[in-house]
Structure 1
Amino acid sequence: MSRLGTRFNDEALVQTALGTEIKISQASLAASWRRSSSFGLDPNGRPVDAVLSEVDLHQAKQKNEDIKQFVKPELELLYNQIAGTNFMVAYADNTGVVLNALRDKEFKNSDAGRAVIPGSIWTEEYRGTNALGLCLQTGTSQIVAGRDHFFRKLGDLSCFAAPIYGPNDEIVGMIDATSDASLRQNHTLALVKLACKNVENRLFIDAFRNSSIISFHARHEYLSTTSAALLAVDEHGFIEGANANAKSMLNGLTLSNKSHFGDVFEIPFSSIITRLSSQEIIRIYDAMGSAVFMALQEPASKRIVELDARRGVRGFSKKLGPQSANNYMEHEQVSKPKQKYIADDAGLKRHLKQANRALQLDLPVLLVGNRGTGKKTTAIELHTNFRANQPFVEVKCALLTEENYEKMLFGSDGKLSYFQHGFCGFSESIISSAKGGSLFLNGIEALPQSAQTALAQVLEARQEVSIGDYENKIASVFVSSRLSIQELRAQPDIDAVFLENILGAQVIVPNLAQRLDFRAVASELLRQISDAHKFSKPALDALERLDWPGHIKQLKKTIQILVASSDGPIIRIETVQGDQNLSGEEIMPCDPCSQSPVRKESCILIKKTWLESGGNISLVSRRLGVSRTTIYKHINKP
């Protein structure tokens, strides 16, 4: 294997096909190539197409069912966040077998797409050096880009994989993202690792669901993030489990053999559990004297107090000074940020007013918009304004089939029993649970025709009850679709009676790039993620200019990355510009450089490195070995 870059111990800055530099372990890749060769594989040949039988795959899926419930939403979110062309995301178990794969159309039709399917085995024994196999071998996150793959046939791909660790510190699975090397996103591995960390935390909470889950961190604003440390503590104060962050933060202290909370921290568990249960954030010292903030997992509202076994209880603000040990001082009221719905866009505001009037007349509300534009959030906001404290029941239409719709909608007694009792007589079912509240039919374009007919009957029966009599009927109906009512009418599989019964008000939820309140939306999302951070005006300007395909979730994930990348509480323009993939813009060479292939390549490399370094001219100069004057010429920086 040939490598470009300067060796630094076991790590090297490796230049990919586009000249982008990434840190990888030379030794890990070299060892993987040696293992691949020892299996008798030929780099010029084809990977072994190893795939489990249907029976073995079914057994593998059953074995991992508990993990898959936490992986699936993360995999879907990751798919949306790295969406582009020729890409996929996959989940594999701890033996390297792919159990789930989401692929775009282009990737699905490629040779690699036909190879990465549920049941395919991606260990080095069969596929040579690849991200999943190397991740399983080393137990660490891996990038295998371009020609780092053992087989040359995989040389046009960039693969990113990270392990998922269970509560027992054993790998229970892996998440992989793969794309065309020429379209690789530099922050993809960060997104993959974040998805794995979310799964790990959910597995930890599920494993110790009968214990008190306590989160702690040196900074209170990070208590609800994936960087928080988690402890599982039983009712007597014995520590039953600790996640990887907790073990790292409490390095040097014993967390095994049923350690007691009081052995690790300076305050007995009995002295804090009442305050934690009251949704407070407390400041506490561990046995080595380090201060951390602590809270019960996901409390609704919080107060900060400080507990110090050596100095009593005091406020920790320098302005307040020491306080009496007999007087618990409240330092700061810190409420968990409530989600605020932003509707400063003039068009959206007008549609919402029409929807509110329609709801008062018991008319349905159809929400139209592209995927990820916020149709469900809008429905919840309307429901909250109209029927607060009443149930909001969602039906995910894509999950209904001709075979299962009746049981899923009407319960085990079926549709006939539902209507025999009168539509408000109600056996236990999804439909009956919306009585007095709101029914939300999410994605009606996916409804099978028989389900459309049944739901039309429900909506017609609802109209027979007097307007305003919400005790005896579903109070409001929300329907969402990516298609307008005109487009729905043109669909051959949409029942005309069903369409007639969902007519009412229509709310067009605009794409993110079309919204006039983008800045307010971005600022609100930042507040929800970290109220300790703010955008500088140039950073918010730069964020607004980016190419947004319509996903608010994409914006939220981007802001999470910006918060994680920011060195301080102010997110500056350099952080936004630091990753070309946040901007969605292709890097173009200078006009003089575009005439020469050699100068063009050098120019793009300089611009990329400048973006990746956060605009640090000195770092670019040292990394590439070119003068600062040369760099200034290419980036047009005065």
Structure 2
Amino acid sequence: MPIHSYTAHVQELEAFGMGYPLQGETRDRAVLGSWRRCIDQHRLDPSRTSEAHIVPAGQLRAHREESEPLIRIARSGLERLYQQLKGLDYVLLLADRHGIAVDFLGHDSHAIDLRSAGLYLGAQWREDVAGTSAVGTCLATGEALTVHQSDHFDFTHTTLSCTAAPIYDLQGQLAAVLDLSLLRSPAARASQQMALHLVTAAVRRVELANLMAQSGSDWVLRLAQSPDFLDVDADAALSIDARGRIRAMTHAATRMLAAIAGLNWRQQPLQTGQPLGRFFDTDLQALPQLMRNRPAQERILRARDGSIWFAHALPPQPRSNAQASPRPSLPAPLQALNTGDAAMGQLLHKAARLAPQDLPVLLQGETGSGKEFLARALHAASGRSGAFVAINCAAIPEALLESELFGYLPGTWTGGAHKGRAGLIEAAHQGSLFLDEIGDMPLALQAKLLRVLSESEITPLGARAPQKVDIRVISASHRPLAELAHSGQFRADLLYRLNAAELQLPALRERSDLLALAEHMLAALGCSLRLSGPAQAALRAHHWPGNLRELHNALRYAAALAEQQIDLEHLPDALQRSPAAVQGQDAVSDAALAGAAVEGRTLNTATLEQVLAQCQGNVSEAARLLGVNRSTIHRRIQRQQLSRVFARQEGER
């Protein structure tokens, strides 16, 4: 069907809204139903057009986190489908149950046009927002469909051709929509029949993968109407527990079982927990006869309605001993960062799973929280043979950053190295490139880095031909990159390339292993000093805006001053002056002095004054007799205003 003019499009919708029959156009029932909802329920104006609605970055992140298990399972299927369509300019979107695109596969060279059209991450395609569209109408109907060009309610979208299919979870709820779209397509709707077939098949495989991933302890029964495709691409699947009851099923299985039982799957949804024998002439004990050790043509399953199905039964997976044992030990480079904090331990186990992958990793955390330490550990645990190359994007002048990253050929500019220079990206070939403070990278250079990530090639300055590189990119920033992308200070397309996996390091003040970290750092400094109770209290009370870096510097300073142990007086002034530290110290001092006694006398103000007088105001000698620290005596002198003794002591000193 030809693309309408704006006027013709609005007139057709207005006539439809008033009940007039359509003139010369054939629309699918799903499209007409959506038009009716847009006019009657959503109160959308056919004459009003609007650009694609992209949700803010923070909202998108929340939706992506909610959909993370499904994205992880669906990703390999999406990539396979995208490769099949490579060169045909198709775009793949995975939208969640709210209609928001949470995953995207498309050519980066079209990023601006795709974002403008809404075929991009964060696009909102719900019917009440965008009108008739493949994603929104699929969510509303629960059916696979094509919305082709002028089928769209909003004239803005009438150049698009979009095909979508629903993805159901194992409880039969519509969880997501897979959409296959073109910015521009042939005029005929029939041109998208193949797209409808491909997207439907991809959804069936995603649902099957989801079922297999969650049915390790159950029998899985895969079903097909033809034996030829049973073992390679089944039509439907369901899982059966140890009691012979259906625990979960794909959507195709839901519809199949409803048909066998003579039910309408929409109006009378099947509940899980039904015995397998309600639908088939078989039971749990007969399932081993349907395993793959027999030809597919012989694995026949008769349904209660008389239909014949071919079945492939997969037995429960044996329970692994690892399931009952503690988590496996971390690789040595990551274990070195594990000092007992639970949140950090979880992060390190996640890092251990990510380390051998080629996924780009984004490390977020406050300044000094250990992002480079974690990046180096990720590289060391990755098994990559190349070097770990680090570059601080905020420390190199913008004019030099491009040449540092990409390198340059001989004679590119006056003053350059005579033989040219290899860039840091090339130096990281077969290794890891760590881009610290990536949030400070200039926008112009971000575009070139995006090409490196998408094409795995670089073009040195002065060169005409690109060269291939094999790198694993680890980036880090203390700045909220999602907010920077939302405000236009950081490229959103680059952000979604960099944060294929994101690790958020906890701040030091949030960690429970602060003292263990301090002891670890002291050991690394080569000293055997221990922290006194007052010093430990001061460390706990400090806010640590500089995190691990600040702690390391404080301990180096204290180790240089202390002789036998590190006390409060050896710590930097900022830690001694902290109100919380002083308060904590007073409690420690009171406990120490309350337990101290000289010749059986309780150490009250009078006793302390007598001890000081006995020592002729020598605080060190008084502290030795009482078994407490000098700083404790000084604080008690100041708090109890023992001015006469304190003055005498100061005069004698």
TM tier relative to shorter chain: 0.3 to 0.5
TM-score normalised by structure 1 residue count: 0.45
The TM-score normalised by the length of structure 2 is 0.44
